[in-house]
Amino acid sequence: MKKETTRTELPLNRILGGDCIEVMRALPAESVDLIFADPPYNLQLRGELHRPDNSRVDAVDDAWDQFDSFRAYDDFTREWLAAARRLLKPDGAIWVIGSYHNIFRLGAELQNQGFWILNDVIWRKSNPMPNFRGKRFTNAHETLIWASKSENSRYTFNYEALKALNEGVQMRSDWVIPICTGSERLKNERGEKAHPTQKPEALLHRILIGTTNPGDVVLDPFFGTGTTGAVARMLGRNYVGIEREAEYREIAERRLEKVRPLPADVLEVSTSKRAEPRVPFGQLVERGLLRPGEELYSLGNRFRAKVRADGTLVGKDVKGSIHKVGAQLEGAPSCNGWTYWHFKRDGKLVPIDMLRQQIRAEMSGARPN
Amino acid sequence: MKKETTRTELPLNRILGGDCIEVMRALPAESVDLIFADPPYNLQLRGELHRPDNSRVDAVDDAWDQFDSFRAYDDFTREWLAAARRLLKPDGAIWVIGSYHNIFRLGAELQNQGFWILNDVIWRKSNPMPNFRGKRFTNAHETLIWASKSENSRYTFNYEALKALNEGVQMRSDWVIPICTGSERLKNERGEKAHPTQKPEALLHRILIGTTNPGDVVLDPFFGTGTTGAVARMLGRNYVGIEREAEYREIAERRLEKVRPLPADVLEVSTSKRAEPRVPFGQLVERGLLRPGEELYSLGNRFRAKVRADGTLVGKDVKGSIHKVGAQLEGAPSCNGWTYWHFKRDGKLVPIDMLRQQIRAEMSGARPN
DNA sequence: CCAGGTGCTGAATCCCCCA
DNA sequence: ATGGGGGATTCAGCACCTG
């Protein structure tokens, strides 16, 4: 049963037909920045499942034979996840979505394969289908798991952009988003909904804005009618879709043709201070913005320190960087010297960070960027 | 190494010392209606964490939360779940709570053992701890799983009572409840929090109202400081607690002594068979059961509000119906004012729902029901 | 008595570059 | 690979104090 697979180049912004496990195995390793996966959880699919040795799992229709069906689902999960993992760049990440039918098995297998869970996120549906028989709670949410490829991955997280999306408050792990209805819901020629579990674009919008950058490659191995691709294309990300059903692929192709990518300037998002160019404190002295020997005053004006010619400070029994001296004086584990230390101008105390901003402004002025 | 265990009778309304797996193995099979379990989460924390103001976060670093590997945690989960399962009556059910660190392994093992998941429920914290380094989403929720012993269990679900708790709308799978702080949070002699992970009583209140009946037996194998027992006792349910740490047991004993069980008539919950007559809150004032100006006290005694002559309440910065004011004070989408607000009689706090029951009794007149 | 400000805390897998 | 050091980072609720 061994199949010869030729590793192709990664075809960007295309939908690939076929079984996602086989297709992924033929793609180049470590070529993808983000994976979004909405795998099937319908246990009726078990007839199409394969064990790791590629033997087919017998169709088991008996409802009581849960153990075998869970095992088959776990085998399927293990295989596609391993194939997906291979494609991820070392600093890549994955999102999976599911309900209580499958999310626990999915999450456990993610952990087993060495993915590092960063958050579980609750998609809280503002308009869920009620529980008609009154025997359970309204199933009003689905669960997403966001995980990096490994514990030490430097994953992408646009903290400031998400905070801005959330009215200036840190984005939480529970997201209120309506289900996909109305004109967004795709129909087939017969007027029926084209796909049973089409996800809202708002969900993918938040995921892609928050955990990818423009130009990144986003892979969706269960592409369906292409929500991931549509949002990726709109947001200037590259997508790779894999879908087994020809009908879904055709609908997705037509959908993607209509998407107009947004211009680059709109795609710029708020960035954190971490992204700003580094300015050594010594430059302030070199450029004469602070004189050697000048006195600096701590936040709260409890301590003083003197600037030395090499860009270090000297205070009472302490010397070192602006950060180190501040931390030692405060007895704190760390200290941001830029906001901690102040200098005197016209009798007023001004944070030295103002001088850093001045230098940064000059730097960006030189480079028209 | 075989240990002879004598199967004792089930000791009701007591806290049992020792390892919960061993203790459960010594209890009689099929004797429990509901299990609530808050097992260790296996947090796997690395270094210290500081807030932006440099204060240190008091982490959950207790020995009982340390496991060497996922394998070790899975073994532990398998054993305690199996022991718990044996104790459940055929129509019994279980609730477990966890975070992304452990909930996927917990859910998968529940399924493996033949439990039938009925819902996963999201506890949305109205006041979670933020993410201090801006590297992830605020971890603003925990996940509960509600499962019956088997697929065909006729589990208890008080649909109408929960609907009433939710202002007449079907209860959803996401619950907004504040974390346990303030006066509800138990302290030890040193003034520190007595238990690092004490759960809010409101969470147990909803679980016990929704999925048990008065007189049922509720087992909590990780009893801690006894939240499950306290709410069970208040609501006229029997509890069995198991806790390994003597210090937690002593605190729980003292806590439970103080709990006053509610009278039986208050515990009757709505049934779908016969709708209870609606009683406007204003009738309590008209009839002189409550005086205008009288002070009401919130569940948990955190808030107060004053009764106005028109049957509305006025609290700090809020006025309106008993439901609306309760919801606003709690920051919750809704609130059942009848069970939320209490008045003082003979120095004790009594839910205003008792007065409604009184009026209903009068209304039903000849029918003693 | 109220308004406003300060301080503390909560189940947390919480940095990243460079030598 | 590992260590050192620059320097970035928080929301809601309650207790307590001051004016």
User: Does residue A242 sit in the same domain as residue A286?
Assistant: no
* pLDDT band at residue B300 under the 50/70/90 scheme: confident
User: Which residues from chain A sit within 8 angstroms of residue B110, using beta carbons?
Assistant: 104
CA A43-B83-B261 angle, 5° bins: 105
Separation CA B248–CA B220 (nearest Å): 14
Q: Which residue of A has its CA nearest to B157?
A: A135
- Interface touch B140/A111, C-beta < 8 Å: no
Instruction: Please indicate, yes or no, if residue B193 is contained in any of the structural domains.
Output: yes
Instruction: Please indicate, yes or no, if residue A127 is contained in any of the structural domains.
Output: yes
Instruction: Please indicate, yes or no, if residue B2 is contained in any of the structural domains.
Output: no
Say if strands B341-345 and B295-298 run parallel, antiparallel, or are unpaired.
Answer: antiparallel
Beta bridge partners of B124: B141, B176
What confidence score (pLDDT) does residue A42 get? 66
- pLDDT of B190 > 90? The answer is no
Separation CA B224–CA A76 (nearest Å): 39
Instruction: Please indicate, yes or no, if residue B369 is contained in any of the structural domains.
Output: no
Nearest to B157 by CA among A100, A131, A122, A123: A131
User: Does residue A149 sit in the same domain as residue A252?
Assistant: yes
What confidence score (pLDDT) does residue B271 get? 53
- Interface touch A162/B136, C-beta < 8 Å: no
Are the beta carbons of A115 and A149 closer than 8 angstroms? yes
- pLDDT of A232 > 50? The answer is yes
What confidence score (pLDDT) does residue A41 get? 85
Conformational region of residue A291, where left means phi above 0, alpha means psi within -120 to 50, and beta covers everything else: beta
A272 at B interface, C-beta within 8 A: yes
User: Does residue B115 sit in the same domain as residue B186?
Assistant: yes
A274 versus A253: the higher-pLDDT residue is A253
Domain extent at residue A75: 14-44+60-266
Beta bridge partners of B239: B218
Q: Which residue of A has its CA nearest to B70?
A: A112
Among B130, B131, B172, beta carbon nearest to A140? B172
By C1' distance from the Cα of B222, the closest nucleotide is C11
Q: Which residue of A has its CA nearest to B104?
A: A104
Please state the φ and ψ torsions of residue A351, each to the nearest 5 degrees.
-65, 140
User: Does residue B215 sit in the same domain as residue B109?
Assistant: yes
What confidence score (pLDDT) does residue B275 get? 42
Are the beta carbons of A319 and A266 closer than 8 angstroms? no
CA atoms within 13 A on the CB side of A6: 2
User: Does residue B91 sit in the same domain as residue B233?
Assistant: yes
Strand D at less than 7 A from CB of A299: no
Mean pLDDT of chain B, nearest integer? 89
Q: What is the pLDDT of residues B195-227, one digit of tens each?
A: 999 999 999 999 999 999 999 999 999 999 999
Amino acid (1-letter code) at residue B313: L
Q: Which residue of B has its CA nearest to A113?
A: B70
Say if strands B304-307 and B295-298 run parallel, antiparallel, or are unpaired.
Answer: antiparallel
Chain D positions with any atom < 7 A from a protein CB: 5-15
Are the beta carbons of A311 and A282 closer than 8 angstroms? yes
User: Does residue B285 sit in the same domain as residue B262?
Assistant: no
Choosing from B266, B293, B312, the residue where a domain stops is B266
Beta bridge partners of A350: A343
Token reading at A321:
């960087």
* pLDDT band at residue B293 under the 50/70/90 scheme: confident
Q: How far, in Å, is the CA of B127 from the C1' of nucleotide C11? A: 14
Burial B50-84 (b: 16+ CB within 10 A, else e): eeeeeeeeeeeeeeebebeeeeebbebbeebbebb
- pLDDT of B159 > 70? The answer is yes
* pLDDT band at residue B266 under the 50/70/90 scheme: confident
Instruction: Please indicate, yes or no, if residue B3 is contained in any of the structural domains.
Output: no
* pLDDT band at residue B272 under the 50/70/90 scheme: very low
From the DSSP assignment, how many helices (H) and strands (E) are in chain B?
Answer: 12, 14
Q: What is the pLDDT of residues A106-158, one digit of tens each?
A: 999 999 999 999 999 999 998 898 888 899 999 999 999 999 999 999 999 99
Among B54, B119, B122, beta carbon nearest to A136? B119
Q: What is the pLDDT of residues A182-229, one digit of tens each?
A: 999 999 989 999 999 999 999 999 999 999 999 999 999 999 999 999
Amino acid (1-letter code) at residue B61: D
What confidence score (pLDDT) does residue B91 get? 98
User: Does residue A345 sit in the same domain as residue A197?
Assistant: no
- Interface touch A159/B134, C-beta < 8 Å: yes
Straight-line distance from the first to the last Cα atom of chain A, in angstroms, rounded to the nearest whole number: 56
CA distance readout (Å), A19 to A16, A124, A226: 9, 31, 16
Instruction: Please indicate, yes or no, if residue B49 is contained in any of the structural domains.
Output: no
Among B101, B119, B140, beta carbon nearest to A100? B119
- pLDDT of A338 > 60? The answer is yes
Q: What is the pLDDT of residues B301-333, one digit of tens each?
A: 999 988 876 667 888 888 778 888 888 898 887
- pLDDT of A367 > 50? The answer is no
Conformational region of residue B316, where left means phi above 0, alpha means psi within -120 to 50, and beta covers everything else: beta
Residues 134-193 of B with CB under 7 A from strand D: 134, 138, 178, 181-183
User: Does residue A29 sit in the same domain as residue A168?
Assistant: yes
Token reading at B144:
């509960």
DSSP collapsed to 3 states, B230-244: HHHHHCCCEEEEEEC
Q: What is the pLDDT of residues A157-169, one digit of tens each?
A: 999 999 988 888 9
Identify each DSSP E strand in chain B by its residue range.
14-17, 32-37, 88-98, 116-125, 141-148, 174-177, 217-220, 238-243, 295-298, 304-307, 313-315, 318-320, 341-345, 348-351
Q: What is the pLDDT of residues A17-66, one digit of tens each?
A: 999 999 999 999 999 999 999 999 865 444 445 444 445 554 444 444 46
What confidence score (pLDDT) does residue A1 get? 41
CA B40 to chain centre: 17
Residues 309-328 of A with CB under 7 A from strand D: 320-324
Nearest residue by alpha-carbon distance to C1' of C14: B133
Nearest to B162 by CA among A136, A127, A125: A136
User: Does residue A246 sit in the same domain as residue A293?
Assistant: no
- Interface touch B111/A70, C-beta < 8 Å: yes
What sign for the dihedral angle of Cα A325, A327, A333, A339? negative
Q: What is the pLDDT of residues B39-83, one digit of tens each?
A: 999 999 989 999 999 999 999 999 999 999 999 999 999 999 999
Question: Domain containing A222 — which CATH number?
Answer: 3.40.50.150
Q: Which residue of A has its CA nearest to B131?
A: A170
CA distance readout (Å), B13 to B194, B204, B240: 21, 16, 5
- Interface touch A141/B110, C-beta < 8 Å: no
Choosing from B215, B241, B266, the residue where a domain stops is B266
Mean pLDDT of A354-363: 92
User: Which residues from chain B sit within 8 angstroms of residue A104, using beta carbons?
Assistant: 103-108, 110-111, 145
Strand D at less than 7 A from CB of B55: no
Nearest to A157 by CA among A245, A242, A92, A62: A92
Q: Which residue of B has its CA nearest to A206?
A: B137
A262 versus A91: the higher-pLDDT residue is A91
Say if strands A88-98 and B341-345 run parallel, antiparallel, or are unpaired.
Answer: unpaired
User: Which residues from chain B sit within 8 angstroms of residue A115, using beta carbons?
Assistant: none
What confidence score (pLDDT) does residue B282 get? 67
B159 at A interface, C-beta within 8 A: yes
- pLDDT of B36 > 80? The answer is yes
How many angstroms away from the CA of B108 is the closest CA of chain A? 5
Residue of A78, A121, A163, A173 best to disrupt the B interface, most CBs of B under 10 A:
A173
The helix (run of H) or strand (run of E) holding residue B330 is helix B322-330
- Interface touch B54/A159, C-beta < 8 Å: no
User: Does residue B150 sit in the same domain as residue B217?
Assistant: yes
Separation CA A177–CA A211 (nearest Å): 18
Q: Which of residues 310-369 of A touch B (CB under 8 A)?
A: 330, 332-335
Q: Which residue has the tokens 């269990």?
A: B153
Identify each DSSP E strand in chain A by its residue range.
14-17, 32-37, 88-98, 116-125, 141-148, 174-177, 217-220, 238-243, 295-298, 304-307, 313-315, 318-320, 341-345, 348-351
CA A262-A267-A272 angle, 5° bins: 175
The pTM for the full model equals 0.84
A209 at B interface, C-beta within 8 A: no
Among B111, B112, B119, beta carbon nearest to A139? B119
User: Which residues from chain B sit within 8 angstroms of residue A146, using beta carbons?
Assistant: 137
What confidence score (pLDDT) does residue B164 get? 78
* pLDDT band at residue B6 under the 50/70/90 scheme: low
User: Does residue B311 sit in the same domain as residue B250?
Assistant: no
A97 at B interface, C-beta within 8 A: no
Choosing from A266, A299, A315, the residue where a domain stops is A266
CB count within 10 Å of CB B362 equals 9
Length of chain B equals 369
Instruction: Please indicate, yes or no, if residue A272 is contained in any of the structural domains.
Output: no
Nearest to B242 by CA among B6, B84, B8, B15: B15
Among B100, B118, B143, beta carbon nearest to A117? B100
B134 at A interface, C-beta within 8 A: yes
B113 versus B166: the higher-pLDDT residue is B113
- Interface touch A170/B131, C-beta < 8 Å: yes
B202 at A interface, C-beta within 8 A: no
User: Does residue B175 sit in the same domain as residue B27?
Assistant: yes
* pLDDT band at residue A244 under the 50/70/90 scheme: very high
**Sequence-ordered list of residues with C-beta below 8 angstroms from that of B169, at least 6 positions apart, any chain:** B163, B334
**Percent of chain A residues past pLDDT 90, beyond the cut:** 76
Instruction: Please indicate, yes or no, if residue B7 is contained in any of the structural domains.
Output: no
Domain total for chain A?
A: 2
